Structure 1
């Protein structure tokens, strides 16, 4: 009887075929049809595209298209005024250019709007021409634009990801699992069949036997020099990492807690260019930078009730993390609930709730730090200590805030004395003492213990 070393070539071929089949299936099912773009209906009078720009510049602070804000909703305002009040476009021209004058003249509908909206007259826009107003009205009369196509690889909410067939991901996954199971069974049956055929023809199927070798651990133990070197390196490495761990006790660099209301510094400080000290105003005059009160948020969010995104749209990273327009809009609703703001009636209800913000930067009690000294006197930018906040979706502690980090900054930072009478005399005296034109914070006493430790 002939003995041969048996290798199941067919098994290898089937395995490769299985992998290729799975990859092909996934690539086929992952393809999505790009939704057709909605047809745009042009307004009969005026340019809606120009009107949108004019609306955002002049009207969006107080008006929205489909909801009441500081002023009434403006969707199809021309048609509504004509059908419900019998007013024509000429009335709108006069109202937009001089609403206070129309109220003073006794116009019935002008007085009605004035009383309905807290007796606050609308800002006059005498510089808007008839053509400009026509463009704005065309924008308010235009149908809402079609939703933009989703970016490649993104799946629209509520839409099955199986392309035009409407097949759900669960059905596709189930089908792939079934095919995989069938192929495994087929592979097992073919393997057994080939073994039986080989044995029937007098071929003894043998599995390759591995050569008997000395175990690695035994060879390692028998080599005394290698054991000694390994022990030395192990002790030195353990001491190194133990020292590094102990030096990080109390250092929270990278700490990024989840806040009760999500606040994106990337959107506020980055996209919208809001200055840090607009919200953290106490940093100019106080030891602490302070947490902005929710009234500061409502300065803008009385009018900004939903997030409409940027012209570029959300990035793939934002979509993967769930940062969609709907997500940010829901966070604005949390703000309204906390301050007790009634969106429908545009007024406070008086039912407010405290927001338990989680503190991020926290120095030990034995260290003294004054924001106003650094911000107002030294003129240091917020990013010097807090990092590129304009790029942070979730705020985190950028710097280690250790004693060594502060000391290095004092040693390397030149004090700005130009036009600062506070430093005029001391700068002259210390310049003579050290023989330099520029003085660092360290040379002006920035390394004295009592400066930072009471």
Structure 2
């Protein structure tokens, strides 16, 4: 849900004493904020709605709770502050939140006033560093090693030829100093090298043929390794949707649009009605009039009851089974681990190789968080009896063929 509310005003404030600052209240309020408010609001900056921190100094507590519960009651009743806010933010209707209890509202305000007080510049710098680290940690493909081996072999061959040439030169000079040699021996030692004969010799033909065959085989192997691999694939979409804007600037969680990621095998591509949750209120970029041509395509899809034909970016072969909920919910894997820094992508591309080897490497290296989960107690005990290493995915069947192919 989108929470379009409230309260523009000054930044210096004294928090209402009825708003608790305990860790429990702040944590509970953060969950409520992320589920209902984060799409349109930030604590310390204006987004689709106003910045929220300091609201308890600017408004009465009872008024705030009533506004959150159902802002239109105040607007339709002619409340001056509510009407002013409604007009300031383009008559955007905030959904009612009458399902929130008084305790929920108090916890929400606790988070708004006391939660996440960080330096925005430092947070942006840290996020950029993490994205760079993720981008630089992509795994190599084996054909790269084959290229290195071939280059090294060619270099070694050239060095061997150079060394042999030097040895021949030194021996020739040494033998010419021997006065006991007859004319035939001297003629043999000082004979000119027949380079044409060398290149036509059986040995040279074998060497050249071997090098050519090696590069042909290497090229074939490169081709085999790329079969079915779409790394870097970035197709054009029917609507110019920017993940950099939505997931980056507006920090809309991936799960808001890809609703199946926590409950099923597929993350699923969002339908037009999910887009309309926001775009029924937002029809263009800030400062421009009329409806944006790209947003108009969403309205057209809804009006004609026709789905948006998004082009799938990440594809796995039918013979491979992958479950998003198992990795995201149970494994706690972040979206960026596989999909890269999507929040920085104007056009989404396939970031990782998504090959079997890539998956297996992850299973071999990923440690399982067993703390506080009784399911793993016996497994940890059995594993510790045979190994001093941490329990990893590979130790609980992560390398079994039937886990992904059955």
TM-score by length of 2: 0.51
1:287 is matched with which residue?
265
1:224 is matched with which residue?
200
Q: Deviation of residue 120 (structure 1)?
A: 10
Matched, 1:390 2:353: no
2:391 is matched with which residue?
439
Aligned counterparts, 1:317-332, within 5 A:
329-332=292-295
Compare CA radii of gyration and give the structure with the larger one: 1
Q: Deviation of residue 426 (structure 1)?
A: 2.2
Pick from 208, 215, 220 the counterpart of residue 242 of structure 1: 220
Distance 2:96 2:331 in 1: 44
Q: SS at the partner of 2:364?
A: helix
Q: Deviation of residue 98 (structure 1)?
A: 4.4
Tell me the C-alpha RMSD between the 2 structures: 3.9
Aligned counterparts, 1:364-375, within 5 A:
364-375=317-328
Q: Deviation of residue 354 (structure 1)?
A: 2.0
Distance 1:121 1:277 in 2: 20
1:148 is matched with which residue?
none
Pick from 348, 354, 357 the counterpart of residue 310 of structure 2: 357
For these two proteins, the number of residue pairs brought into alignment is: 235
Q: Deviation of residue 378 (structure 1)?
A: 0.7
Q: Deviation of residue 122 (structure 1)?
A: 11
Distance 1:301 1:269 in 2: 15
Distance 1:290 1:422 in 2: 29
Gaps (5+ residues) in structure 2?
A: 1-8, 10-44, 52-70, 80-86, 98-194
Q: SS at the partner of 2:348?
A: coil
Q: Per the alignment, do residues 353 and 249 of structure 1 end up closer, same or farther by CA in structure 2, a change over 3 Å counting? A: same
Matched, 1:303 2:281: yes
Distance 2:96 2:324 in 1: 41
2:383 is matched with which residue?
430
TM-score by length of 1: 0.46
Q: Per the alignment, do residues 334 and 221 of structure 1 end up closer, same or farther by CA in structure 2, a change over 3 Å counting? A: farther
Gaps (5+ residues) in structure 1?
A: 1-46, 48-52, 60-94, 104-112, 124-218, 310-324, 341-350
Q: Deviation of residue 248 (structure 1)?
A: 1.3
Q: SS at the partner of 1:283?
A: coil
Q: Deviation of residue 400 (structure 1)?
A: 1.1
Distance 1:422 1:221 in 2: 75
Q: Deviation of residue 382 (structure 1)?
A: 0.5
